[in-house]
Amino acid sequence: MTGAAMRIELIRRPHQSTTMAIASPLLAIALTLITGAIMFALSGVNPGAALYVYFIEPLTAWWSVEELLTKAAPIILIAIGLAFCYRSNTWNIGAEGQLVAGAIAGSAIPILLPDWNGPLVLPLMLLMGIAGGMAYAAIPALLKVRFGTNEILTSLMLVYSAQLFVDWLARGPWRNPEGLNFPDSRPFSDGQLLPVIFGDDIRLHIVFVLIAVVVAWFVLGRTITGFQIAVLGQAPRAGAFAGFSRNRMIVVAFLIAGGMAGLAGISEVAGPTEMLRTTVSPGYGFTAIIVAFLGRLQPVGMLLAGLLLALTFLGGEGAQFALGLSDQTTQVFQGMLLFYVLACDTLIFYTPRIVRTGTASGPTPRTPAPGAET
């Protein structure tokens, strides 16, 4: 480095800081709130009132708590699946497409066999949804394993294709024959819908979320598979040395993520939506990426993060309605939150130090730090 300036230097901690692992998301949330308050004040809205509407008010009425859970459910389901990918250092950002694929596959039964209402129908729909998501996720996984194709781009391109495909289905062959040519499928019948298990709106998929959190916690923390994923993600060479197959792990991680996204997809159409529409989700597959990181890829963390994100959606709606704040405020909020989380995560691995750099001091030749190369 040459020239005199202040700069931030990071010193790697010998062990990752447990205090910081817990403190960093909280710090990030606090920073987001502060920045948000400044943003509100600048746009002429009382920051206290705005933050109340955003983060407290949605929790003050039971109906809105129900809505919160319904909104959070698909996001958490997908995030948990994505955590398997991200822990193994594979970048599936196409969960939105896998969700659509799951919704399509699961909807085949109620749309093609509308009168079938036995006890087997719903479980079969769910299984087909999971299978659909898995099959769609297998495409980028296999391309990656077989040809080394960049999975970030293929999985993303497949999102657009899936969205166009479901659009075609809902407007074309799967259109409701009694719907005056409007672009929706026929409404699913009661036996083809996830039952409401609590209150007015809370459906069975809330249970799936809880099961997923527990199972993911167990698999990631207590099984060989979880260990292999972590090792291959953090130190691929050590993993290969231990005889773990990286390719197998990539496929497994993608299949888990796809299956979870597929489950979220069929749960949406056979849940709150009650039919297959031209769009299946308002971007849950992308929101889930934020949730995965915000929750630090830990199942319980992602559960909490999913609830927080759902809260910002509901709060944003309330803020529009009550305070006339723009809808885009929510998006900026979410982006900011993720920025702060990522920035604060640095504290887990490094101690920052502000140093004054003086005259030219060429770097001393050295061997690279083992942690710098993941």
Partner 1 sequence: MRKIVATVGTAMALALAAGAAQADDPLKACFVYVGPHNDGGWSEGHDTGRKLVDEMLGDLVETSYIENVPEGPDAERAIERQARSGCGIIFTTSFGFMDPTLKVAEDFPDVKFEHATGYKTAPNVTSYNARFYEGRYIIGQIAGRMSDAGVAGYIVSFPIPEVIMGINSFMLGAQSVNPDFKLKIVWVNTWFDPGKEGDAAKALFDQGVDIITQHTDSPAPLQIAQERGLHGFGQAHDMYEFAPKAQYTAIVDTWGEYYVKRVNAVLDGTWESQATFDGIVDGIMAMADYTNLPDEVVAMAEATEASIVSGEFHPFTGPIYNQAGEMVAAEGEVLDDGALLGMNWYVQGIDDAIPQ
Partner 2 sequence: MNLEGAILTIITAATPLLIAALGELVSERSGVLNLGVEGMMAMGAVVGFATAHLTGEPALGVFASILAGTATAALFGFLTLVLVANQVASGLALTLFGLGLAALIGDAFVSLPGQGLPEINIPILSELPAIGRIVFGQDALVYVGILLTFGVWWFLFRTRAGLILRSVGDNHASAHALGYPVIRVRFMAVLFGGACAGLAGGYLSLVYTPQWTQNMTAGRGWIALALVVFATWLPWRVAAGALLFGAVSILQLHAQAFGVGVPSQFLSMLPYVTTILVLVLISRSSTLLRANTPACLAQPFVPDR
Which residues form the interface with partner 2 (CB under 8 A)?
1-2, 7-8, 10-12, 91, 93, 143, 147-150, 152-154, 156-158, 160-161, 164-165, 167-168, 172, 286, 289-290, 293, 326, 328-336, 338-339, 342-343, 345-346, 349-350, 362-369, 371-374
Closer Cβ to partner 1, 74 or 258, answer by number: 74
Q: How far apart are CA 304 and CA 307, in angstroms?
A: 5
Nearer to partner 1, 262 or 318 (CB): 318
State in angstroms the smallest separation of the CB of 163 from partner 1: 10
CB under 5 to 8 A by kind: which of partner 1, partner 2, none does 293 bind? Answer: partner 2
Residues 6+ apart with CB under 8 A from 103: 129, 132, 166, 262, 265, 266, 268, 269, 276, 280, 281
Binding stretches for partner 1 (CB under 8 A): 61, 63-64, 67, 70-71, 164, 167-168, 171-173, 180-184, 187, 268, 271-275, 277-279, 282, 314, 317-318, 320-322, 324, 327
Between 252 and 347, name the residue whose CB sits nearer to partner 2.
347
CA-angle at 142, arms to 136 and 144, nearest 5°: 115
Task: Name the minimum Å distance from CB 196 to partner 1.
Answer: 13
3-state secondary structure of 355: strand
Contact indicator for 281, 101 with CB cutoff of 8 Å = no
Taking phi over 0 as left and psi of -120 to 50 as alpha, with beta for the rest, 199 belongs to left
Q: Where are the alpha helices (DSSP H) in the chain?
A: 18-42, 47-55, 62-87, 95-112, 121-147, 151-171, 205-222, 224-234, 236-241, 246-269, 284-294, 299-323, 328-349
Least Cβ distance, residue 287 to partner 1 (angstroms):
12
Closer residue to partner 1 in complex, CB, 52/91: 52
* Minimum distance, C-beta of residue 133 to partner 1, in the bound complex (Å): 19
> Closer to partner 1 at the Cβ: 37 or 167?
167
| Mode of pairing for the β-strands spanning 202-203 and 196-198 | antiparallel
Give least dist CB 123 to partner 2, A.
31
Residue 197: which residues within 8 A CB-CB, separation 6 or more? 203, 204, 206, 207
Nearest-approach distance from CB 66 to partner 1, in angstroms: 10
